[in-house]
Amino acid sequence: MTGLPAMRTVYGVLLNSRAEFEAWAPRMREAPYKAPPAAPVLYIKPANTWSASEARVPVPPGVPQVEIGATVGMLIDPAGEAGGFLLVNDLSTPQASYFRPPVRANCLDGFLGLGAVVPAQGQDPARFALEVRVNGELKQSVRFDALVRPPHRLLADVAEFMTLGAGDVLMLGLAPNRPLARAGDTIEIRAPALGRLVTHLVAEGA
C-alpha cells in the first residue's frame, strides 16, 4: 500500500464536536442511551479501510449514499503526544443510531482516506480550517475550535483507560451535518496547514 503514513491502530471519537453534542443533548437521556456519554467514546477504523489520496474507493451496490467525515488525525509519537497531524476522510454509510458500534457502516474497504502527515510543531489545531468539496462544489467548512475535548484533554481522557503509542492515530471528531456523496463523486478535503486529500468514489466493479 503506497502513499500511506506508517501507522498502527486508528481511532475515531464520537460526539467530540460541541455543535453535534448540543444537537444530540435533548435525546441523550432517552432510550437506548439513557445518559450522556461520560468518557470518550472511541471506534476503530481497521487497516482494510485505509486509502491514500487519489484512491478510487469502491462503493458497493446497495449503498446509495456515503457520509463524508472530514476531520484531522493526530499521529501519536513515542511520548504519547501528537507528533503530527493529517487530514482524514472518515467515510461511513449514514447511521441514525449511536447505540451499537457501526462496524458494518464504518469498515468498508477504503473508507478512511488519509492525507500526508505534517509535523505538529508550530501547529495549533484550534486554527485548522477544512473545506470539503464534492465535484468541486463547497459543501462544508470544518473547524476545531469548539470541541468537547480539545486535543490535550482528549489524549489525557483516553490515556485514563488505554495506551496510545507510537504510530497510533486519534481523530479529533466529526462535525455535524456531514455532507453526502455517491459513487461517481470526487471528494476533496483541503486545509491551508495540512494540504489536500482527494477520494474518488466509484461503483464497485466499475
Partner 1 sequence: MKHARVVYQGRAQHAIESEGRMLLDDGSRVALEDVRWLPPLAPTERPRTILALGLNYADHARELAFKAPEEPLVFLKGERALNGHRRQTRRPPGVEFMHYECELAVVIGRSAKRVRREDAYAHIAGYSVANDYAIRDYLENWYRPNLRVKNRDGATPLGPWLVDAADIADPMALALRTSVNGRLTQSGNTRDMIFDVPFLIEWFSSFMTLAPGDLILTGTPDGVVDCRPGDVVVTEIEGIGALMNTVA
Q: Which of residues 118-177 bind partner 1 (CB under 8 A)?
A: 161-163, 165, 168
Q: Are 49 and 87 in contact (CB under 8 A)?
A: no
Residue in 18, 19, 43, 129 binding partner 1, rule: CB under 8 A: 43
The strand ranges marked E within 53-146 are 55-59, 66-67, 70-76, 82-90, 112-114, 118-119, 129-134, 137-143
Distance in angstroms (rounded) separating the CA atoms of residues 5 and 64: 30
Nearer Cβ to partner 1, position 164 or 181?
Answer: 164
Is-cis flag, bond preceding 32, omega within 30?
yes
Choose the stretch contacting partner 1; rule: CB under 8 A; options: 41-49, 68-76, 126-134, 139-147: 41-49
**Of 2, 26, 32, 121, which one interacts with partner 1 (CB under 8 A)?**
32
Is the Cβ of residue 92 or residue 194 nearer to partner 1 in the bound state? 92
Q: Which is nearer to partner 1, 68 or 108 (CB)?
A: 108
Comparing CB distances to partner 1, the nearer of 24 and 196 is 24
60 counts as binding partner 1 under rule CB under 8 A: yes
Query: How far apart (Å, rounded) are the C-alpha atoms in residues 132 and 93?
Result: 17
Shortest distance, CB of residue 172 to partner 1, whole angstroms?
A: 17
b/e burial code for range 126-157 (CB count within 10 A of at least 16 → b): eebebbbbbeeeebbebebeebbbebeebbee
Amino acid (1-letter code) at residue 195? G
Q: Which residues bind partner 1 (CB under 8 A)?
A: 1, 7-9, 11, 14-15, 32-35, 37-44, 46-50, 60, 98-104, 107-109, 161-163, 165, 168
